[in-house]
Amino acid sequence: MFFKKSPWIIHYDATSCNGCDIEVIASLTPMYDLERFGIVNTGNPKHADIFVITGSVNESSRTVVKNIYDQMPNPKVVVAVGICATSGGVFRECYNVLGGVDRVIPVDVYVPGCAARPESIIDGIIAALDILERRHVEFRKAKSEARRQENKLRRYHLND
Ligand code: SF4
Would you write out the chain's pLDDT as a tens digit for each of its 160 residues? 566 778 999 999 999 999 999 999 999 999 999 999 999 999 999 999 999 999 999 999 999 999 999 999 999 999 999 999 999 999 999 999 999 999 999 999 999 999 999 999 999 999 999 999 999 999 889 888 988 898 888 887 777 6
Domains of the chain: 3-158 (3.40.50.12280)
From ligand 1's centre to the CA of 101, what distance in Å?
Answer: 13
Q: Checking DSSP bridges between strand 57-58 and strand 50-55, what pairing results, if any?
A: unpaired
Tell me how crowded residue 24 is: count the other CB atoms within 10 A of its CB.
Answer: 26
pLDDT score, position 152:
86
The neighbouring-strand residues paired with 11 are 52
Backbone CA torsion sign across 122, 123, 124, 127: positive
pLDDT score, position 78:
98
In short, whether 101's Cβ falls inside 6 Å of ligand 1 is no
Q: Where are the beta strands (DSSP E) in the chain?
A: 8-15, 40-41, 50-55, 57-58, 77-81, 97-99, 109-111
72 Rama sector, left if φ>0, alpha if ψ -120 to 50, beta otherwise: beta
Q: Is the pTM of this model over 0.75?
A: yes
In short, whether 114's Cβ falls inside 6 Å of ligand 1 is yes
Q: Is the peptide bond before 73 cis (omega within 30 degrees of 0)?
A: no
In short, whether 111's Cβ falls inside 6 Å of ligand 1 is no
Residue whose CB lies within 8 A of the most ligand 1 atoms, among 15, 17, 87, 91, for a mutation test: 17
- Could you give the 3-state DSSP secondary structure of residue 7? coil
Identify the residue whose C-alpha is closest to ligand 1 atom 5: 16
Please state the length of the chain: 160
pLDDT score, position 24:
97
